[in-house]
Amino acid sequence: MPEAVSIEVAIIGAGPVGLFQIFELGLLGISAHIIDSLAHPGGQCTELYPDKPIYDIPALPIVGAQELVDRLLLQAKPFHATFHLGQEVDELQRRADGRFLIGTTAGTELNAGAVVIAGGLGSFQPRRLSVPGIELYEGTQVLYRVQSAADLHGKDLIICGGGDSALDWTVALCEKARSLTLVHRRAEFRAVPATVARMRELVAAGRMQLVVGNIIALHAQGNQVQAQIHGTDGHEEARRADHVLAFFGLHPKLGPIADWGLELDRKALKVDPEKFQTSQPGIFAIGDINHYPGKKKLILSGFHEAALAAFAIQHHLFPDKRQFLQYTTTSPIMQKRLGIT
Q: How do 224-231 and 236-241 pair as beta strands?
A: antiparallel
pLDDT score recorded for residue 165: 87
Res 1 pLDDT > 60: no
The count of residues in the chain is 341
- In tens, the pLDDT along 175-207 reads 999 999 999 999 999 998 999 999 999 999 999
HSE-CB at 146 with a 13 A cutoff on CA atoms is 26
Residues near 240 by beta carbon (within 8 Å), at least 6 away in sequence: 156, 221, 224, 225, 226, 227
Q: What pLDDT is recorded for position 195?
A: 93
In the chain the domains, ranked by start, together with CATH numbers, are 5-124+251-337 (3.50.50.60), 134-246 (3.50.50.60)
pLDDT tens profile 244-258 = 999 987 665 566 676
Q: How far apart (Å, rounded) are the C-alpha atoms in residues 281 and 74?
A: 31
Angle of helix 299-317 relative to helix 16-27, nearest 10 degrees, comes to 40
Percent with pLDDT over 70 in the chain: 94
Q: How far apart, in Å, are the Cα atoms of 103 and each of 10, 12, 248, 260?
A: 11, 11, 32, 13
Angle between helices 16-27 and 65-76 (to 10 degrees): 20
Rounded Cα distance between 299 and 20, Å, is 10
Please give the mean pLDDT across all residues of the chain: 91
Half-sphere exposure of 177 (CA within 13 A, CB side): 26
Residue 313 CB contacts under 8 Å (≥ 6 apart), including other chains: 9, 25, 30, 114, 116, 284
Q: Which residues contact 224 (CB under 8 A, 6 or more apart)?
A: 141, 156, 240, 241, 242
